[in-house]
Amino acid sequence: MLGVIWAIVWGVTAWSGGKKATPEKVSGIIDGAAFEDWSEAAGGNFSSDQKVARLAKLDEVGEVLNRLDLRQRKQLDEDGVLYDLFFRLSREEKMHFINITFNKSAERLMESFDQMKPEERERMVQKSVQDMSNGKGAEALERLKAEDPEVLKLVIQKGFKAYYQGASANTKMALLPFMDAVGEAVQGFTKPGGGGL
């Protein structure tokens, strides 16, 4: 009887461990899918079955990615895993990936940030830039500035939502690590005793 109980406990633990969202799980799905580089190819060069299979794998990546917390997303940002994947996707796949990974938490971050006064937004941006510059995020920050040298100024002036809506797919992807960094800053700012909102 005890053996049966332990077998059930082990089974439930293994099942829940397999369901847990981790950066390693996201990387594993991407590695397992072995996405070919479709970035330069015309969409008509591939069968509908190939396109459907790739979109299904992107949906799987997005589902796990959207369950990660900011710290875990930051690890993926710093490893460059998502960025490398993104630039192997076709134009249509890039837009699909951006749409499925822009989740409710990102929307809430935008709203919180955009409700701040410009001087408060500037403080959050400066803190995020400093955090990224001092860590592995420096490369992601440089990619973002290469996409749009005015991005930091525009985000401070307009807020995230207005800027994000008009940005290209490539700029949106480059913006995600910065949004995650700002999210951490905003969370710290709004914590009790944080002197914020």
Whether 156 has a pLDDT exceeding 90, the answer reads: yes
User: Which residue, among 129, 123, 135, has the nearest Cα to 178 in the 3D structure?
Assistant: 129
- The model carries a pTM of 0.72
Contact indicator for 128, 181 with CB cutoff of 8 Å: yes
Asked whether residue 17 carries a pLDDT value surpassing 50, the answer given is no
The first and second tokens of residue 45, run together, are 């060069």
pLDDT tens for residues 45-96?
788 898 999 999 999 999 999 898 878 888 888 888 898 999 899 989 999 9
